[in-house]
């Protein structure tokens, strides 16, 4: 099968012929129909997240089941599915307390010494990213990384739910559960931030302020629910948010992953408010913030990982949200491309020229 392989960091992905194994126990073989491109893939390419090459990236997929391995009861050939990086074990402390997205075994692949799921022409193993590796015509995944969805859901739009939409919507609906009427700022209007804006609209937030350095995104942000938009390059976005909200928002979502914008998110959070860190700051970087802001104004800061999901429960619900018109996914797709154009897509992402880009397979 054809796949885009990361052979080195900070280099273009190579389109190669890759071998994919047959499904083993508990595994499902899929035909990839579509995969969104998330900034976390770019973080890996840039070396900001430690995943060693060679590796096939891509973790926002939708596809159709082709074959299932021994013991797989929940999937059959022909099923339409979405894949998610937060596979769960079902027995650990986090799984049993209802937070399976924190399961520490989510990235454990086949047992040590087993045949690799993906390999090159000479049989050398190629790393699978987060049990998915969707920049490839086929995927071999643990069944616990997959959820079956309705057949009437278009799979290119379903792919967005695999990561960005679940992350942004879930930050609002699951991680902090913002109440109706609350004021919200979302810094960063990429796939994740636009989904957070939609989450805020869906729960009936009051003011929803979108902040981005690319003003062309504001028409889109408004269509998806933003009531106000602030150009981060024009003056100080913290002062602008404070002015719109008489001192700061109830909830600020940082959806970029940069040190200065994390600091801005804390600063634009009002007294008693909550800052939600969704963007991934490179692991080697620390963020200085004022501790006194937290003490004297009782601000709270929380991280939000993969929208605090229970994806077998959340994703079919988000599919329903799309099909009943509440979740707008058509507007979020700025480009549909072939696998061959994946490097150009990352270039557009670096320059801020895309909303969500989706690779569609024939």
Residue 40: active-site member: yes
DSSP string, 28-46: EEEEEEEEE--HHHHHHHH
3-state SS assignment for residue 71: coil
Indicate the Cα dihedral angle 309, 311, 313, 317, nearest 10°: 90
- Residue 164 in the binding site for ligand NAD (CB under 6 A): yes
Round to whole Å and give the CA distance between 25 and 27. Answer: 6
Q: Using CB atoms, what's the residue nearest to ligand NAD?
A: 190
Residue 254, strand partner residues: 187, 277
Of 174 and 245, nearer to ligand NAD (C-beta) is 174
Residue 80: active-site member: no
Candidates 55, 84, 95, 163; catalytic one: 163
Q: Residue 191 binds which entry of ligand NAD, Zn ion, none, with Cβ cut-offs from 5 to 8 Å by kind?
A: ligand NAD
CB 125 to ligand NAD: min, Å: 26
Q: Are 184 and 171 in contact (CB under 8 A)?
A: no
How would you label 143-160 residue by residue, b for 16+ Cβ within 10 Å and e otherwise? Answer: bbbbbbbeeebebbbbbb
Binding mask of the shown chain, residues 193 to 232, with x at each position contacting ligand NAD by CB under 6 A = x-----------------xxxx--x--------------x
- Residue 314 in the binding site for ligand NAD (CB under 6 A): no
CB neighbourhood size of 42 (10 A)? 16
Binding segment (CB under 6 A) for ligand NAD, from list 34-42, 69-77, 175-183, 332-340: 34-42
Distant-in-sequence, close-in-space partners of 77: CB < 8 Å, separation ≥ 6: 65, 66, 67, 68
- Residue 287 in the binding site for ligand NAD (CB under 6 A): no
Q: Residue 258 binds which entry of ligand NAD, Zn ion, none, with Cβ cut-offs from 5 to 8 Å by kind?
A: ligand NAD
Residue 39: active-site member: no
Instruction: Give the H/E segment covering residue 225.
Output: none
Among 190, 199, 225, 273, binds ligand NAD (CB under 6 A): 190
Q: Are 118 and 22 in contact (CB under 8 A)?
A: no
Return the structure tokens found at 326: 């509440």
Radius of gyration for the chain, computed over Cα atoms and rounded to the nearest angstrom? 20
Binding mask of the shown chain, residues 320 to 359, with x at each position contacting ligand NAD by CB under 6 A = -----------------------------x--x-------
Candidates 39, 48, 59, 80; catalytic one: 59
* Catalytic residue annotation: 38, 40, 43, 59, 163
Binding site for ligand NAD (CB under 6 A): 38-40, 43, 163-164, 167, 187-193, 211-214, 217, 232, 255-258, 261, 278-280, 304-306, 349, 352
Binding site for Zn ion (CB under 5 A): 38, 40, 88-89, 92, 95, 103, 163
């Amino acid at each position: 099968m054809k796949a885009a392989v990361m052979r080195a960091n900070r280099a273009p992905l190579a389109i190669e012929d890759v071998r994919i194994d047959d499904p083993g126990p508990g595994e499902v073989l899929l035909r990839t129909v579509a995969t969104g491109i998330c900034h976390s893939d770019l973080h890996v390419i840039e070396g900001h997240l430690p995943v060693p090459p060679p590796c096939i990236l891509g973790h926002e997929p939708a596809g159709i089941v082709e074959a299932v391995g021994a013991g797989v009861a929940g999937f059959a050939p022909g099923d339409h599915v979405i894949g998610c990086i937060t596979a769960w074990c079902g027995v650990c402390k986090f799984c049993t307390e209802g937070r399976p997205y924190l399961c520490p075994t989510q990235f454990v692949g086949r047992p040590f010494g087993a045949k690799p799921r993906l390999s090159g022409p000479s049989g050398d193993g190629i790393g699978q990213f987060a049990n998915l590796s969707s920049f490839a015509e086929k995927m071999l995944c643990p069944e616990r990384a997959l959820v079956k969805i309705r057949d009437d859901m278009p799979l290119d739009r379903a792919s967005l739910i695999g990561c960005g939409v679940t992350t942004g919507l879930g930050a609002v609906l699951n991680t902090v559960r913002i109440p109706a009427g609350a004021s919200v700022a979302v810094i960063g209007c990429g796939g994740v931030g636009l989904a957070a804006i939609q989450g805020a609209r869906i729960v009936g937030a009051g003011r929803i302020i979108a902040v981005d350095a690319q003003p062309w995104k504001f028409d889109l942000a408004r269509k998806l629910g933003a009531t106000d938009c602030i150009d981060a390059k024009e003056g100080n976005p913290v002062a602008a948010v404070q002015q719109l909200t008489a001192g700061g928002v109830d909830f600020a979502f940082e959806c970029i992953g940069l040190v200065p914008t994390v600091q801005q998110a804390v600063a634009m959070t009002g007294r008693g408010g909550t800052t939600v860190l969704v963007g991934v700051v490179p692991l080697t970087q620390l963020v200085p913030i004022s501790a006194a802001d937290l003490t004297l104004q009782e601000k709270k800061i929380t991280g939000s990982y993969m929208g605090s999901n229970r994806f077998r429960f959340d994703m079919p619900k988000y599919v329903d949200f799309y099909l009943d018109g509440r979740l707008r996914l058509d507007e979020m797709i700025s480009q549909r491309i072939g696998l061959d154009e994946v490097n150009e897509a990352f270039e557009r992402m670096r320059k801020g020229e895309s909303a969500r880009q989706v690779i569609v397979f024939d």
